């Protein structure tokens, strides 16, 4: 098969608004094993939405948007169900921004001949395909944005905001997380920003402008996300996968304390993961373990050991179906960073 044959069937994103899963999830909560855990996690997410003092931070790891979950996160933003996002770079740049440029992810075969795919310039993520030539366009668009900006350190949030502004000028007609977050003033943080197409574009930018170039300030990311924590009386974490986004968001409690603030642990926490806790790695470490570090309130937490494409539509669909997002106050946390002065420790 040639490249045209392989890049035919587009992965279709799921629309949580098209289904009423409330009754299904409530029935699952009366079952056992991960069905019961999922039901409790969905109810905790709904509790977050009902708590007028709670800011919700969504953490994203894994290849989620290429698998069809992009519009779920888009709906969480546009329906005021999330106030800040911490993500891996792949979801935000290689997958969301990539599709906002007009490209797509395609249905693939996990048993495909990978040498043949390499020869055809097709990249594989398990059972999805990506056009490598289109990814290079994404890389170079990041370089183009970098070339147009003032040469100074930027937090990833600042740079992603510029990506949103770029998409708004391009009048993209694709449902984009980056664009929706820009328009709804939901800050997006990507602590490992160079570990994706952004990295290739920024290397190109720096290589070709050796005397004057912009950089990404990961410490600025941590400070700004800590400011989001400080701006709310309580916080809730909705974590898909683990890794850097999970730890980065959890650590804001400790960072705030180091700055002299008396803050609460994250009041509500749920995590969807397939990782195992027994190897001591972060992605599978339990939320109760995080309580020992002073990061997570152990009274309102739930782990769901499930693959994200199965669990997230049900949990998000339940919270959407309950409708408590309609009465939430809009936080617009990106406005925190319009001010040049840092918050002083009390």
Positions marked active-site? 295
- CA–CA gap between residue 224 and residue 202 (Å, rounded): 21
Looking up tokens 């490209």 gives 103
DSSP letter for each residue of 147-206:
HHS-SSEE-HHHHHHHHHHHHHHHT--S--HHHHHHHHT--EE-TTTTSSHHHHHHHHHH
- CA–CA gap between residue 323 and residue 280 (Å, rounded): 38
- CA–CA gap between residue 110 and residue 147 (Å, rounded): 38
Q: Which residues pair with 270 in a beta bridge?
A: 238, 302
């Amino acid at each position: 098969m040639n490249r045209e044959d392989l890049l035919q069937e587009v992965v279709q994103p799921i629309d949580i608004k098209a289904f009423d899963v409330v009754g299904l999830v409530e029935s699952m909560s009366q079952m056992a094993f991960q069905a019961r855990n999922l039901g409790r996690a969905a109810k905790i997410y709904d509790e977050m939405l009902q708590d007028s003092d709670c800011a919700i931070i969504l953490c994203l790891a894994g290849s989620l948007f290429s698998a069809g979950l992009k519009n779920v996160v888009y709906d969480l933003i546009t329906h005021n169900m999330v106030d800040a996002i911490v993500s891996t770079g792949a979801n935000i740049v290689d997958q969301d921004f990539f599709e906002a440029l007009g490209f797509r992810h395609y249905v693939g075969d996990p048993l495909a001949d990978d040498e043949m795919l390499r020869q055809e310039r097709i990249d594989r993520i398990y059972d999805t395909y990506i056009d490598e030539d289109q990814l290079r366009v994404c890389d170079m668009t990041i370089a183009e944005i970098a070339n147009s900006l003032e040469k100074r350190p930027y937090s990833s949030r600042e740079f992603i905001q510029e990506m949103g502004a770029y998409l708004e000028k391009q009048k993209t007609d694709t449902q984009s997380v980056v664009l929706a977050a820009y328009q709804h003033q939901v800050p997006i943080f990507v602590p490992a920003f160079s570990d994706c197409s952004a990295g290739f574009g920024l290397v190109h930018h720096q290589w070709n402008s050796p005397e004057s170039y912009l950089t990404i300030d990961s410490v600025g990311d941590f400070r700004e996300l800590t400011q989001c924590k400080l701006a709310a009386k309580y916080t809730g974490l909705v974590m898909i996968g683990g890794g850097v986004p999970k730890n980065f968001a959890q650590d804001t409690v400790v960072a705030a304390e180091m700055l002299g603030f008396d803050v609460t642990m994250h009041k509500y926490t749920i995590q969807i993961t397939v990782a195992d806790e027994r190897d001591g790695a972060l992605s599978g470490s339990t939320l109760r373990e995080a309580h020992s570090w002073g990061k997570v309130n152990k009274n309102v937490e739930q782990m769901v050991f499930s693959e994200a494409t199965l669990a997230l539509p049900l949990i998000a669909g339940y919270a959407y179906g309950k409708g408590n997002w309609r009465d939430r106050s809009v936080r617009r946390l990106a406005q925190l960073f319009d001010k040049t002065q840092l918050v002083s420790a009390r």
